Amino acid sequence: MDSQLEGGPVVRVGPHEVDISDITAVKEIHRVKDGYRKAPFYQNLVPNTNNLFNTLDLEYHRHHRRLLSSPLSESSLKSVEPTVDDYVKTAIASMKREMDERGTADVAKFWLFMATDIIVELSFGESFGILKHGKKNQYIKDLEGLAAKGSIRSTFPTLTTIATKLPLPIFKETAAAAQRIRDYSAEAVARYKRYVANNPAAAKPTLFKKLFEAGEAGLSDEEIRAEAHAYIVAGSDTTATTLTYLVYSVCCRGDVRQKLVKELMELPDDFGHSDLRDLLHLNNVIDETLRLYAAAPSALLRVVPARGAHLAGYFIPGDTVVSTQAWTLHRDPDVFPNPETWDPARWEKGSKLMHDAVMPFGGGSRVCIGKHLARMELRLVTARFFRAFPNACVSSIEGMSQDDMELRAYFLLTPKGGRCLIQLD
């Protein structure tokens, strides 16, 4: 990714792949009208299933997105806001207890537990209780194990296929983990479906409730299971990582923290998400974190239409893979002066060019379907955290240092140390 910052907006990275960071070209590639379909990379990344994220079938994607988008719209999310907010409050209470007992709290851990419990409950009707128990269950361990192998599967698909035939323990365990995930997801979907059928008025609102009520007009149980699985993968680590870097960044900048806390303390005690949507400093902090620490900064691969295309001054032949990635776009010094500096104030007079250059949730018809839920979580968490801990600062206990927060980018972003310790000043 750094090579593009040095080599210009168009870099050939393989025999049939070109990386592009020209904003006009990126908008063309990720236009709402389908033209540049997803590359086979996504099927290799998440094999043996089809869902909204990895499907290459345009009609399949249109059909599923039409059915799934309504529950994730800003208006529909009001029905699940109480569930989200309850988990936010529980996470912050857990941090308070850990600070009292340990002198510091690992916010990275609690944000992961919280985000996972939220998306699991919104998918299956009940959470794993990870936040309550304070540790990961087998399902999450299995998900993490398979996700960690995703980059290997997508880069070396043939080798991976061959490897699965070898009688080695690591491959047997991978197969067992995949089966456990399928079994649990199928059981959870069936359990919630029965509950909706038997207690329609009492059933908790979830992202799939209307689909169960629609019966054959919706999706099959297997399709819902596959989509729920994709939601959990996409809605846990990503949200947790963004929140971790947001809290860390604010705690490193006393001036920003002071302005943010002042704004938040003016909220009514019974504030909700609607009270946060237009807060200047809060949303600037979120936008700047999404710029510098986009949770999925790596290449988004698309295939050029058969007729070919003119992009960034070059003719790109049909069927060439073109990749775009937030890492380079978000660090363009011509758009964002001092791009490596986390500075929320840059958004106070954010230009159209700046807004066009940021794509933390992807773009076009394949933009992240959960972006409104993500922003709801980011706003509620940031507001409640800094109202609860107005003097929060980065801890030096247990050897915590800036080195722990060094960026590690695979397909998703993660802090090198896997932790972020915060204490009260």
Annotated binding-site ranges for heme: 368
| C-alpha distances out from residue 392 to 85, 107, 242, 377, 421, Å | 21, 11, 17, 20, 10
CB < 8 Å & 24+ apart, contacts of 60-66: 61/365, 61/366, 64/219, 64/223, 64/227, 65/365, 65/369
Q: Are 372 and 76 in contact (CB under 8 A)?
A: no
Which parts are annotated binding residues?
A: 368
CA angle 43/192/76 to nearest 5° reads 75
| Angstrom distance (rounded) from CA 318 to CA 350 | 36
| Angstrom distance (rounded) from CA 109 to CA 95 | 10
| Angstrom distance (rounded) from CA 338 to CA 197 | 56
- Counting Cα atoms < 13 Å in the Cβ hemisphere of 209 gives 21
| C-alpha distances out from residue 141 to 47, 69, 136, 178, Å | 18, 29, 7, 11
Residues 6+ apart with CB under 8 A from 374: 235, 238, 239, 242, 361, 368
Calculate Rg over the CA atoms of the chain: 22
